[in-house]
Structure 1
Amino acid sequence: MSWIATERFEARTAPAGLALVQELINTHAVERGPGADLLADRAPAQEWLAGAARQWAESRGADAPQVSLSDADVEALRDLRALVVEMLAVPFDERPAGAPGPFAGLTGRAPVVLVSDPQGRVGLMPSGTGLGWLESAVWSEILLAQQSGEWARLKLCRESGCRSAFYDTSRNSSGVWHNVRTCGNIANLRAARDRKKQRTTADGGPGRGGEPAGAQEAADSRGRA
């Protein structure tokens, strides 16, 4: 089984449960490429969430939750996506890490269950069903990723027409495009056109008929002589 939304972009997938957060972001519509918003209506949103929940459960060795959505849930689901996108828009080296400060001013997001294994290790388990479960799972995975350092490697593609989420595995965390062959190539071509335009402007720009400005002025002078 694959992460449906992320697979559309051919983006590198985040490890384990953090891929659920990436998957949520990648449900968005794009100007070109894979197209439709998977959360536009209840039917596609329900299909996406059911698949994402099963994939998350498989990655975490847990039972798949019940994830039925109402029409009102779909709008709240899009709001959740927008909030996480806003968090990822912060440059990776400026994102806060570790536990939050004093409890005053904190915002409640979703309940979770603390669990332990036979070795006494304590972990987080999302609780609830439907949208409530997804909110619990998303915030749990973000917390775990912030503690492990993986949160800084989940990024939004720099290409404005894409903005898909990808997991940066570069050694110095320098990746900026979800796919160098697609969005990276678009950015390079745009930069090359801008450089050519700047050189043309610096040289005086084209004159009438496509000739450089200096050549056109010389021709006009000869005509007046």
Structure 2
Amino acid sequence: MNRPASERYCLTPAPGGLALVQELLNTAPAGRPTPAELPDLLADGSLGVAQEWADLAVRDWARETGRADVRLALTDDDLPRLRCLRDQVRRALAAGDRGGDAVRFTSAPVVVGLAGDGTLTVEPEGAGARWLASAVLAEGLLAQASGVWRRLKICRNEPCSAAFYDRSRNNSGVWHSVRGCGNAAHLRACRERRRVQA
């Protein structure tokens, strides 16, 4: 599988179509616990990078969900729309994690169909950023319905902020990497306690 945004964090992808949501979230720039910064894959002027990311992410999404290949063509106008969607989904996850106010999503069209075997299907509609928003929001809805949405989280180490799928038994993970981000947070807390005591 090629998931260039999430692979930057050495993450295991979320299951099924939810990996597309995780991929979108991980296109954001990050300072990471190490000095090396990760660039924004959806930055203005980086249409080639964004298109390459979208091609791989959508191909993996199609494979994971049993759909036919989708050819998605992004334009420069799609980049700010995708960044806006990414920020809205990030805020929604953070609000759900803290029990905050609901975040209003950008709406996107989907087609709900009835398959021959009686199952309902949800298919994205549109082109470019609109199609991607449709797919991301549809996968979010399906993840909520199946109860796995709450396992998609944002790392609490602010310089990192990676989107990860919490595989802990009790869904208690708060860092994408306990060794990296978790240790950094514990070290900062320990230094702060020592400073206060001194």
TM-score, with structure 1 as normaliser: 0.79
TM-fit CA distance, 1:47 = 0.9
Alignment of 1:163-182 (within 5 A): 163-182=161-180
Matched, 1:86 2:84: no
TM-fit CA distance, 1:77 = 1.1
- 156, 177, 184: which is aligned to 2:154? 156
- Could you tell me which residue of structure 1 aligns to residue 38 of structure 2? 35
- The whole-number CA distance in structure 2 between the counterparts of 1:31 and 1:93 is 23
Change in CA separation of 1:35 and 1:88 when aligned onto 2, cut-off 3 Å: same
Change in CA separation of 1:107 and 1:8 when aligned onto 2, cut-off 3 Å: closer
TM-fit CA distance, 1:172 = 1.5
CA offsets 1:142-179 (integer angstroms, 9 cap, x no match): 11111111111111000010111001111221100001
TM-fit CA distance, 1:12 = 3.3
- The structure number with the bigger radius of gyration is 1
Alignment of 1:65-144 (within 5 A): 65-92=70-97, 94=99, 109-144=107-142
- The whole-number CA distance in structure 1 between the counterparts of 2:187 and 2:106 is 45
Confirm or deny: 8 A CA contact 1:95 1:152 kept in the other structure. Answer: no
More displaced stretch, 53-62 vs 122-131:
122-131
Matched, 1:9 2:9: yes
Deviating runs (4+, > 3 A) in structure 1? none
TM-fit CA distance, 1:61 = 0.8
Percent sequence identity is 47
TM-fit CA distance, 1:96 = 9.1
- The whole-number CA distance in structure 2 between the counterparts of 1:171 and 1:141 is 23
Secondary structure, counterpart of 1:49 in structure 2: helix
- 180, 184, 187: which is aligned to 1:186? 184
The AA in structure 2 aligned to 1:69 is L
RMSD (Å) for aligned C-alpha atoms: 2.0
TM-score, with structure 2 as normaliser: 0.90
- The whole-number CA distance in structure 2 between the counterparts of 1:95 and 1:145 is 19
Secondary structure, counterpart of 1:181 in structure 2: helix
- The whole-number CA distance in structure 1 between the counterparts of 2:97 and 2:135 is 22
Confirm or deny: 8 A CA contact 2:112 2:123 kept in the other structure. Answer: yes
Confirm or deny: 8 A CA contact 1:31 1:162 kept in the other structure. Answer: yes
- The whole-number CA distance in structure 1 between the counterparts of 2:12 and 2:177 is 8
- The whole-number CA distance in structure 2 between the counterparts of 1:63 and 1:129 is 16
The AA in structure 2 aligned to 1:72 is D
Confirm or deny: 8 A CA contact 2:89 2:105 kept in the other structure. Answer: no
The AA in structure 2 aligned to 1:156 is I
The AA in structure 2 aligned to 1:24 is L
Tell me how many residue pairs correspond in the alignment: 192
- The whole-number CA distance in structure 2 between the counterparts of 1:108 and 1:92 is 20
- The whole-number CA distance in structure 1 between the counterparts of 2:190 and 2:114 is 55
Confirm or deny: 8 A CA contact 2:95 2:101 kept in the other structure. Answer: no
Question: Where does the alignment leave 5 or more consecutive residues of structure 1 unmatched?
Answer: 98-105, 201-225
TM-fit CA distance, 1:181 = 1.1
Confirm or deny: 8 A CA contact 1:65 1:129 kept in the other structure. Answer: no
Question: Where does the alignment leave 5 or more consecutive residues of structure 2 unmatched?
Answer: none
Secondary structure, counterpart of 2:112 in structure 1: strand
